[in-house]
Structure 1
């Protein structure tokens, strides 16, 4: 698949370069004559109108380049944080321990394990325990 995408990109670049060169050469036709605006009407002026074959070649080359770039792009990552972090932590690089004992897998693990990090789940659990203990002591 990568070879086909690279081939599409190369063919698209060649066609685009040819279309640009053709458009440039076509625009030089106006400068070759003495006064093109006196002899030709506005719709026939080479500086204002581009032949349909050059326009179609330009569109075709851009389409080839777009398809080639899309096919050569890497796979998309999951949007949800939990899936991305789970894939990252299960990877081989996550098991490698870097300097100071920090694993290389999850870049945010260091932030979540810092001492001053407030854990809302732990706070909710502690609040639930406090409420159940308070209701037990109030009923007796």
Structure 2
């Protein structure tokens, strides 16, 4: 996160905490007076502004998105190699040099009938 996104997130969080405290204080004062009034407009506006500023700070701190199309991602991986997307990932298995390696090394389907026949042969004693 850059300092801009960190400071924007901190300011948004501080505004949201202040708005929540103001709303709680307003509710406590209304409980003492035994009356019910609506929340003042300035507190509602502060909540909305704080939410927007906090959301902006969180959006600014996100990493660059990867391409959605598989052929764009595969082309980037083949041209630039393993380090093309390494800065925004924490999983080492997620960045491989061959984008189709996962398809080439996956296990094939299990033949249940063959396993059942093998098990039946193993369970039956062999008459010799």
Specify the alignment match of 2:44 in structure 1. Answer: 55
Q: Does 2:59 correspond to 1:70?
A: yes
| C-alpha RMSD of matched pairs (Å) | 2.7
What TM-score does the superposition give when structure 2 sets the normalisation length? Answer: 0.64
Q: 1:50 to 1:82 in 2, by over 3 A?
A: same
Specify the alignment match of 1:112 in structure 2. Answer: 104
Query: 2:40 and 2:16 mapped to 1: Cα distance?
Result: 15
Specify the alignment match of 1:23 in structure 2. Answer: 23
Q: Compute the displacement of 1:8 (Å).
A: 0.3
**Aligned length in residues:** 97
Query: 1:6 and 1:113 mapped to 2: Cα distance?
Result: 42
Q: 1:115 to 1:3 in 2, by over 3 A?
A: closer
Q: Write the deviation string for residues 7-54 of structure 1: whole angstroms up to 9, x where unpaired.
A: 000000000000001000101112112x42xxxxxxxx23xx110110
SS across alignment from 2:17 = helix
Q: Write the deviation string for residues 43-91 of structure 1: whole angstroms up to 9, x where unpaired.
A: xx23xx1101101111110110111111111111111101112223432
Q: 1:25 to 1:13 in 2, by over 3 A?
A: same
Structure with bigger gyration radius: 1
Segments of structure 1 that go 5 or more residues without pairing to the other structure are: 37-44, 95-102, 117-140
Segments of structure 2 that go 5 or more residues without pairing to the other structure are: 85-94, 109-128
Query: 1:28 and 1:115 mapped to 2: Cα distance?
Result: 63
Query: 2:29 and 2:107 mapped to 1: Cα distance?
Result: 74
Query: 1:108 and 1:18 mapped to 2: Cα distance?
Result: 51
